Each structure stands twice: as C-alpha cells, then as structure tokens.
Amino acid sequence: MNIKQVAKKARVSTATVSRIINGSSAVRPKTAQRVRQAIRALNYYPNTHARTLVSGRSRILGLIISDISNPFFPELVKGFEDVALQNNYEVILTNTNYDSTRMASCVQRMLERKAEGVAIMTSEMNRQLIEELSRRGVPIVFLDVGSVRNRISNICVDYAQGIHEAVDHLCALGHRRIGFISGPLSLKSARTRRSSFLECLKQYDLAKEDTLIVEGNHKIDGGELAMYRLLQLKRAPTAVLTSNDLTAFGALRAIHHARLRVPEDISIVGFDDIELSQFTQPPLTTIRLPRTELGRIAFDALFRILRGDSQKGAAYRIETHLVVRSSTSAAYLLPGSQDLESAAVRRGS
Amino acid sequence: MNIKQVAKKARVSTATVSRIINGSSAVRPKTAQRVRQAIRALNYYPNTHARTLVSGRSRILGLIISDISNPFFPELVKGFEDVALQNNYEVILTNTNYDSTRMASCVQRMLERKAEGVAIMTSEMNRQLIEELSRRGVPIVFLDVGSVRNRISNICVDYAQGIHEAVDHLCALGHRRIGFISGPLSLKSARTRRSSFLECLKQYDLAKEDTLIVEGNHKIDGGELAMYRLLQLKRAPTAVLTSNDLTAFGALRAIHHARLRVPEDISIVGFDDIELSQFTQPPLTTIRLPRTELGRIAFDALFRILRGDSQKGAAYRIETHLVVRSSTSAAYLLPGSQDLESAAVRRGS
DNA sequence: CTAATGGATGTAATCGTTTACATGGCGAGC
DNA sequence: GCTCGCCATGTAAACGATTACATCCATTAG
C-alpha cells in the first residue's frame, strides 16, 4: 500500500514511481507502463501527508466564512470548492460564527494544516493572526477589506452599482421617499451597504431623513421589526431598500400584517438574491450579488499567486445588479396623500 | 519553527518536547515549564502532517453530504463540526451533488487524506468504495441505510413517528382526505418518507387513493406543480402532507394562486422544520427533524468506535415530532360540500 | 576507437514528528 | 553499602513520500 511495494512489483526504484505519479521527468514508455500496471494492481494512491511533509505543498486551501447556515454562503462555498477541486486542491471550510475568538482558531487550524492559501470571506479579522499568515508567506484574499498595502488581495463588491440601479428603478416609478433597513451596524459589510445607500441618496437629491433608516439584524425578525417602525412614521416611505433578502422577507411579513400590499402600497427591494427570493409572495425585486462567482474569484485570486502569475495584494471587482421581479411598482399614492392607513381604508380592508 | 528548535531552546531532546505536547508520559515540572516557555516564545505548533505520518492518526473526520445549499444540511454540518472541533478533530466536508460519480471522488479524497472515520449523510452509495473504506478499517456511519451486517453504523430517523403525530393531529381536526406530496422517488429518503405515510394511512384506516399521492422534487417549484394537480382533483384533499418544507412552500404558493386559503380551505404540513418555516405565511406546521442533533450523533457514532467504546455497526435512532404552527386547522368543509371552487366563491373572492 | 553527451534510472538524504528502547540517576530496601 | 527498580530523559528508527545527485548505458561526434 505504499510506494515501495509499487516499486518492488514494477521492479524499479521508488524514485521512478514518484516520477510517474508526478510526471516530473521523462521515463521510458515501457517502464512507465509497468509502473502504471503495478499502481492499478495494488490500488495504490499516494499518502498526501508524506507528500506534504517533504514537498512543503499541501494542496489544501482554507475558506473562512461566518456561518454556513446563513443562506449567503452555501453558493459561495460551492463556487470556491468546484474550481478548487478541478485544480486538485482540497478545501478546509471553517465558520467563525461571527466571533473573533473563533476566527482565531480558524486561522490557527489553517496554519496547522499548512493551507497554501486562505480566503477570508468574513470580516471578523484579527490583525495578529493575519500577520502570522503573512509572515509564513500564506497568500490571503479578503472580501472588501484587503489592500495592496498589507499585501492582502481584495475582492471588492460594488454594492453601489446595484443600489444605484435600484434607486434609479424606484425613482423612475415615481418614488421619492425611500427607506432603508440596514444590517447590524457592528458588521463591516452592513455598514458598507448602508453608506453606499446614503451616498446614492445624495446623488439623486432625495430626502435624507434619519427616520427613514432603521437598523435590522440581517435576519427575518429584525426586518419585520424594522418595517413596523417605518410603517408607524407619519410620513412613511413608499419604497424600502433592505440590506439583505432575509430582511426583506421580514419587511414583507410586517406589511402583510399591517394589511397593506406589496407592491401596491409599498415597494420592497432585497439584497443578495438568495434562491428563495424567487418564491416569496410577491417574488422579490432584489440586487443580485453573484455568490458562485465570488467563490470562483476568491479561488482564482489565490491560485494566481500560487502559480506566480500575480502579486499578493491584487484587486478584484464584483458587480451587483438589480433583478426586477414583482415587489416593486409605481408609487401608488399621490404626493398629497401619503398616509398609508387611509390607503388601507380606501381599499376597504 | 519545528520541534528541534524548541528542544534546543529548552535544552531537552525532541522526545521530551513531544511528551509535553501529547501528555504521553510524565516529565519533571521544572523541565515541562521550560519547554512550555520555549513553545510560547517560538510560537510553535506541531506539523499535523508529520504527526499523521508517524502516528497513523490524522485527527480528520470526513462528512459527506449531498449539497450544502440544500437547507437540510447546514445545521447538520454545524452540529457535526461543533462536537468534532471540541474533540480536536478536523472535518473535511464534501458534496456529492446527488451524483454517484462524485460520491466516488468524495470517498477517494477521504481515503487520501486518511480520514479516521466517515459520516455519509446521503444515499448515493457505491458498494465498492464503501468496501474499500471498510477494508482499510475506516469506521463509517450512514443515514438510514447502514446495518450491523456490513459493519456500518446506522442512524435511523423515525419518520413514522412524526408522520403519525401529523396524521393524528389532522384527524383530530376532522380531516379524512389527506394528500401527500413526495420527494423525487429516485431518492431513498423520499421513498422512505412516502412509505411511512402509506403505512400510517393504513393504520388510521383512511382513504388511500393513488391520486392523492403526487411526486414532487423536494424543491419549491415541484411542490407548487404537485399541489396544482391535487387542487384539480374532483375530490381534492382537505389536508396535505409534504416530504419536505420546500415542497410545502410550493404548495402554499399554489394554494394562494388558486385564491384559496391556508389553513381555512386546506391544511398543509411540512417536513424537516427548516428555519424559514417559521416565517412563511402562515407559519408552517411541520414535522421537526432535529438536524443539529443528527450531526452530533453522527460524530458520536464515529467517536465511540475510535475510542473503542462501541462496535462498528451500532444503531442510533432519531425521533421526529410535529410542530404545530398555523398552517393546519379544523376541516372547514362539510362532508357533502368538498368542492374547493365553491368555497372560494362562497368567500366572495 | 574513444570521449563526450544526455537520457533513464537508482541511491540516499530529507521533511517533522512519534515512540520503542536505552540510559542515567536517585531513593528505598536489605 | 549494594542492588534493585523506577522515574525522567535521551537516542535513533521509523512513517511515506520527493528530489538532488550519482550512476549507468547507449548514442554520437571527432
């Protein structure tokens, strides 16, 4: 079951067997055939640990995410793993659970298993550990927070673009009061999304009232609560953007409970385009963030460095685009009658 | 950065350092302290590959699932990983994508990375590969399909129990015609769920008409289509059980489109209790399959064998229970008026 | 015909640990 | 005071590959 037995059976040295396995240098076709037969006959496959030990290359890549049960991540993971597998890399997947202590142990495990590169798709970072990785020469790719300066490759998601498209779309439908339900502001990604939205409001010269921006938690219940708060405003928004789709689901629920209608009374726009968004009632207009591609790019970023095709600290960009479904429509209320309760009454509900 | 340097710094032999790290035999407290200091000073951690190579134990466990973006799996994975981590095992996660060719490569990867045990939570099995694992002495735990005979530990999910509770619940509410939307019958788990249902009907002496049983695909669109078919029946069911929650989501959609109401016109029961089921409209009554626990038990089954506390081929059991939410209620229609269309008309919709 | 060249193969060191066995020193029992 | 035994530690052989270097043989050029 080891290379020696194969060598013996094929009447060659272990070096020759190794050469066949790795294609590292030429061997006579006749010898090669004999070796290959022996390998098949013994059902031999090399011991990766021995390989790693001597060659210094583990063919392992690390992927650190927040939480696999967050619907944002599975597709990203699949994208990453698919290409990694195609290139004969094994993936070690770890969850930080949004906890920077656990993040530390994630990185430590990468280090121990000798990952050749690490993709960190979450923002609980720990300077010390990152530097430890850098010092050991392990290439890193980050989501949104890398930079050339620290030699960490960065994948920059262009949130602004999708948000622009959404606001554009809503404006074209006649909306002027647009609300926003953010994620938990402790999260970097949530903050970025919110500030992109604020930026956008400015550009479109739209009302920017603090009351129209409410903090959620990137989960359904938080979206629901936040939406209730928006509905209680004297002058409620006629359209609401949300920081992720789960938040939008919650908003949908709140509006339904308030006996109002989407999109007739209020338009809702989600973010991420998780699979379930096609199946809400009504199907959700949302900003698509191509997560499979994100995973692919993360692998690519690492792979290029490993092959020497690219420097550490390269920058990549991912676009986001609006997907229009049925949760948005023309602003139904006239400027003078922005009272949602009366709308409900008018409809006789 | 290796054990020699630590040994040198602490003025002991590598064997002593190893003893400290593994606690394998007593060392003088004074020496121990010196070694520990050296370890900390050099920021040393052992090379797992070297360890595995010589000790033959990798501290790696394999977990094979179908598809991480199927909402059934994330919690299972988390349950498994959490306990594995607590016991210092690393987890290699692989997806078969419901494809038995890929299943083969999953197992191969486990073999190559020298997993000490493998949990196979999907049913695309490949006799040959399983035997290969067995031959190399790798303990295996399977979902539903293991057995003592082949020395494969088995976790048996008691689908019948939850289904009984559901049927019981529906009967108590006055339902007599209960439909079922199954998963794709190519899947073992879908077949098992369906046959549990059929079994149950018999016990309750309920109508068993083939037309009341429709095949879905364990996804939303399949559930929707299947529900349409049920709605078109002359004598449609007043309650429908589904093989998983996504299917139930689809059914909800279909009923909504048909301008009927859940639960007033039709009661719906899901299966699995994925997180989103709390948030549908109405919140879904469903049969809870405790997936985190499933993951935990899978680890436990392997761990016991590894510690020698248990034989290969042990059996474990997981219970399922009904969770009543709002998608079920008393059968609204009188026996003589089981015409859903007229129900809709009566309500004036 | 000899020497140089180069391609195919073998030899052996190496990677970083663990662990069986050897050694050394010290206390206890006689 | 000697021996026995035990505890703490060291020595060195594995584990299973890769790979630099050496060797061998055949071919070709001079």
Residues from chain A that touch B279, judged by Cβ atoms under 8 A, are: 220, 249-250, 253
For residue B342, is pLDDT > 90? no
pLDDT more than 90, % of chain B? 79
List the beta bridge partners of residue B319.
Answer: B158
Please judge whether A90 and B92 are an interchain contact, meaning their C-beta atoms are less than 8 angstroms apart. yes
Inter-chain contact A279–B250, Cβ cutoff 8 Å?
A: yes
Which of A149-153, B54-58, B336-340 has the highest average model confidence (pLDDT)? B54-58
pLDDT digits (tens, 9 = 90+) for B4-33: 999 999 999 999 999 999 998 889 999 999
pLDDT value for B80 = 98
Q: Identify the CA nearest to B334 among candidates B323, B346, B322, B326.
A: B346
Rounded-to-integer distance, Cα A249 and Cα A277, Å: 8
A276–B276 C-beta distance less than 8 A: yes
Task: Return the SS3 of B1.
Answer: coil
At residue B157, φ and ψ (nearest 5 deg) are: -85, 130
CATH match of B3-46 with 1.10.3720.10:
no
pLDDT tens digits, residue range B281-324?
Answer: 899 999 999 999 999 999 999 999 999 888 888 999 999 999 99
Give the 3-state secondary structure percentages of chain A, helix then strand then coil, rounded to 5.
50, 15, 35
For residue B337, pLDDT beyond 50: no
Class level of CATH domain B159-290+323-346: alpha beta
Identify which has the larger pLDDT, A15 or B134.
Answer: A15
Peptide bond between residue B29 and the one before it cis (omega within 30 degrees of 0): no
- Find the Å distance, CA of residue B50 to C1' of nucleotide C27: 39
Q: Is the peptide bond before A263 cis (omega within 30 degrees of 0)?
A: yes
The 8-class DSSP code of residue B280 comes to S
pLDDT at B333: 58
Instruction: Give CATH for domain B55-158+291-319.
Output: 3.40.50.2300
| In chain B, alpha helices (H) | 3-10, 14-22, 29-42, 48-55, 73-86, 100-112, 127-135, 159-172, 188-204, 220-231, 245-257, 291-307, 340-346
Answer whether the bond into residue A335 is a cis peptide, omega within 30°.
no
Backbone angles phi, psi at B316, to 5 degrees: -125, 160
For B45-81, how does the pLDDT look when each residue is reduced to its tens digit (9 = 90+)? 999 999 999 999 999 999 999 999 999 999 999 999 9
Instruction: List beta partners, residue B239.
Output: B178, B267
| Long-range contacts of A131-134, Cβ-Cβ distance < 8 Å, separation of 24 or more | A132/A107, A132/B43, A133/A107
CA distance to A18, B163, B179, B271, B333, per residue, from B238 (Å): 68, 17, 8, 18, 8
Please, which residues have CB within 8 angstroms of residue A201's CB and are 6 or more apart in sequence? A167, A178, A207, A208
Residue nearest to nucleotide D16 (CA to C1'): A50
Query: Looking at this protein, which amino acid is placed at residue A325?
Result: R
What pLDDT does A246 receive?
A: 96
Long-range contacts of A80-84 (CB under 8 A, 24+ apart): A80/A119, A80/A295, A80/A296, A80/A298, A80/A299, A81/A295, A81/B95, A82/A295, A82/A296, A83/A295, A83/A296, A83/A299, A83/A300, A83/A303, A84/A299
Give the pLDDT confidence score for residue A55 in this predicted structure: 96
Distances (CA, A) of A316 to A120, A149, A297, B111, B236: 14, 15, 8, 36, 55
Residue B322 Cα, gap to closest chain A Cα (Å): 23
Q: How far is it, in rounded angstroms, from Cα A246 to Cα A223?
A: 7
- Tell the burial category of A42 from Cβ atoms under 10 Å away from its Cβ (0-12, 13-18, 19+): middle
Q: What angle do CA A88, A93, A98 make, to 5 degrees?
A: 155
Q: What is the mean pLDDT of residues B100-104?
A: 91
Q: State the average pLDDT for chain B.
A: 91
Protein residues bordering strand D (Cβ below 7 A): A 1-4, 14-15, 17-19, 21-22, 24, 46-47, 50-51, 53-55; B 11-16, 19, 25-28, 30-32, 50, 53-54
Q: Which two tokens stand for residue A85?
A: 């597998």
CATH topology of domain A58-158+291-318: Rossmann fold (3.40.50)
pLDDT value, residue A333:
58
Helix (H) or strand (E) holding B277: none
Place of tokens 């010196």: B34
H or E segment to which residue A16 belongs: helix A14-22
User: Residue B87: pLDDT above 70?
Assistant: yes
Q: What local confidence, expressed as pLDDT, does residue B182 receive? A: 97
| Residue B221: C-alpha distances to residues A106, A275, B73 (Å) | 38, 12, 20
**Chain centroid to CA A183:** 15
**B55-158+291-319: same fold as B3-46?**
no
Q: If pLDDT is split at 50, 70 and 90, which confidence band does B334 have?
A: very low
Band (pLDDT 50/70/90 cuts) for residue B234 is very high
Q: Which residues are within 8 A (CB) of B119 and not within 5 positions of it... i.e. 6 or more apart?
A: B61, B62, B63, B64, B80, B140, B141, B298, B299, B301, B302
Task: Strand A60-65: give its sheet, edge to edge.
Answer: A90-95, A60-65, A117-120, A140-143, A153-158, A315-319
How do residues A270-280 score in pLDDT, each as one tens digit?
A: 999 999 999 89
Question: CB-based contacts of A210: which residues, under 8 Å, 6+ apart?
Answer: none
Q: Domain boundaries in chain B?
A: 3-46, 55-158+291-319, 159-290+323-346
Which amino acid does the sequence have at B44?
Y
Name the CATH code of domain A159-289+323-346 (choices 1.20.58.100, 3.30.1390.10, 3.40.190.10, 3.40.50.2300). 3.40.50.2300
Q: Please tell me what DSSP assigns to residue B88.
A: T
Give pLDDT tens digits for A190-236. Answer: 999 999 999 999 998 887 788 899 999 999 999 999 999 999 999 99
B322 has which bridge partners? B287
Q: Cβ of B111 and A78 within 8 Å?
A: no
Q: With 90 as the cut, is the pLDDT of residue A75 above it?
A: yes
B168 vs A321, B5, B165, B296, CA distance in Å?
Answer: 48, 69, 5, 30
CA–CA separation, B247 vs B218, rounded Å? 5
Instruction: Give the residues across from A317 on adjacent strands.
Output: A156
Beta bridge partners of A179: A240
Contact B208, B142 (CB under 8 A): no
Q: What are phi and psi of A129, to 5 degrees?
A: -70, -40
Residue B5 CA to C28 C1' — how many Å? 38
pLDDT confidence of A149, banded at 50, 70, 90? confident
Using an 8 Å Cβ cutoff, are A344 and A260 in contact? yes
Cβ pair B182, B210 in contact under 8 A: no
> Is residue B249 a contact partner of residue B281, using CB atoms and an 8 Å limit?
no
| Mean of pLDDT values over A145-167 | 89
Q: Per-residue confidence at A335, pLDDT binned at 50, 70, 90?
A: very low
Rounded Cα distance between B167 and B180, Å, is: 11
B54 touches strand C (CB under 7 A): yes
**Secondary structure in 3-state letters for B41-54:** HHCCCCCHHHHHHH
**Nearest beta carbon to residue A48 from set B47, B74, B112:** B112
Whether the beta carbon of B48 falls within 7 A of nucleic chain C: the reply is: no
Tell me the average pLDDT across B135-148: 86
Nearest to residue B324, comparing CAs of B157, B201, B208, B172? B172
pLDDT of B338 above 60:
no
Chain B contact set for A278 (CB, 8 A):
220
- Provide the mean pLDDT of chain A: 91
Would the CA dihedral through B8, B10, B16, B20 be positive or negative? negative
Angle between helices B73-86 and B291-307 (to 10 degrees): 40
Q: Model confidence at A61, in pLDDT bands (50, 70, 90)?
A: very high
- Assess whether pLDDT exceeds 70 at residue B336: no
3-state secondary structure of B318: strand
Q: What is the mean pLDDT of residues B231-250?
A: 96
> Residues of B with CB below 8 A from A220's CB?
276, 278-279
What local confidence, expressed as pLDDT, does residue B132 receive?
85
Nucleotide C3 C1' to residue A13 CA (A): 30
Q: What is the 3-state secondary structure (H, E, C) of A204-238?
A: HCCCCCHHHEEECCCCHHHHHHHHHHHHCCCCCCC
| Nearest nt to the A35 alpha carbon by C1' | C9
| Burial class (CB within 10 angstroms; exposed 0-12, middle 13-18, buried 19+) of A101 | exposed
Within its chain, how far is the Cα of A119 from the centroid? Answer: 11
Taking the CA of residue B194 and the nearest CA in chain A, the distance in Å comes to: 25
Cα A313 to Cα A134, A142, A148, A298, distances in angstroms: 11, 10, 4, 12
Residue A176: CB atoms within 10 Å:
15
